[in-house]
Amino acid sequence: MKCIEMNDLEIVGMNGAPLVECGRSLPVARRKSDGFHCVLQIPKDDEPISFETPEEAESYAATGRWTKIQGTIQIPRSCFSGDSAGFTHQPMMIFADDKLLDQADRLPRPGSFNGERLVWRRLDGYDESIHAACCSEETSARLLDEWSQLLMKRFNAWYYYHRDQDYLKRLADFALCAAISRGLRWKAYLRFALVQEPEKIRRTFDAFTLREFPDASWERYKEEIKDLNDFLNNRTPFEHLSVEKSDDTSTESKLRGIARVAPDDAPTKAVA
């Protein structure tokens, strides 16, 4: 890829729209020198990045193909070296609703993570509780996975105390929304099934879980749900709430390769 004047670019939005409580998407950048825009994705085969006119950019934003942020963000230094160079890491926008972060027992919008500084901006036209920041693809995945783990820890604790089903379902749904790694997504699906109405569990398994885990069997899934129920009801509250301890146990390690953590093949947009 040809060198890009990084100091001439600023992030002004994200690709797609935030249709869920958290996720990540490719950044939309603007060239300061002429106002042209692009979706900031590392191209393959040394191809140049395609830029759009300011008029085209406005059209994309008006139709929801792009979402503007209020203000601008610099491209993270972790994603390139020097003022004029190719990318070393794919930049990604990460967005989150404060309601989800509150449930994860986190201060809203961390100022840094994984050694990278995070500058948060509101999304234009959306609720003031939704903000976005830009970081490397690796950091975006780690942060989303951390939120998912914290949400599942809260789920574990409140399930032990028999909190109402709607609240637990919301926690599981948030955890599934945040999870990037396959292992965490499997755990979130199990927790969501644990608090679903019985007649909906098979429907969710067939329509969603099986799509992500085609090697999983319905009988095995039911067994995992039962094991998880027994496991959560027999842990102490301290174990549920401890951040230092992992909730991986022999019960949840019976996946036999179904939910092995694997790197993503491509940047996840997570906007639908």
The residues spanned by each domain of the chain are 6-143, 144-241
Q: What is the pLDDT of residue 3?
A: 56
Kindly list the distances between the CA atom of residue 260 and the CA atoms of 151, 253, 263, 269, in Å, as whole numbers in the listed order: 21, 10, 10, 21
SS3 at position 121:
strand
Compare 260 and 25 and report the one with higher pLDDT.
25
Instruction: Report, as an integer, the average pLDDT of 252-263.
Output: 37
pLDDT at 266 over 50: no
Burial label, 161 (beta-carbon count in 10 A; 0-12, 13-18, 19+): exposed
Place of tokens 């390690």: 253
Q: What is the pLDDT of residue 106?
A: 72
User: Tell me, what DSSP letter sits at residue 69?
Assistant: E
Instruction: Report, as an integer, the average pLDDT of 248-269.
Output: 35
Residue 25 β-bridge partners = 93
pLDDT at 243 over 60: no
CB 180 within 8 A of CB 268: yes
- The string of pLDDT tens digits covering residues 48-93 is 788 999 999 999 999 999 999 999 999 998 888 765 557 788 999 9
Q: What tokens were used for 161?
A: 């105390």
Q: What is the pLDDT of residue 224?
A: 95
Give the residue among 61, 74, 49, 68 at the shortest CA–CA distance from 134. Answer: 74
Residue 79 identity: C
CB 151 within 8 A of CB 175: yes
Q: What are the backbone dihedrals phi and psi of residue 112, each rounded to the nearest 5 degrees, phi first?
A: -160, 155
Q: pTM for this one?
A: 0.83
For residues 10 and 40, give the distance between their C-alpha atoms in angstroms, rounded to a whole number.
10
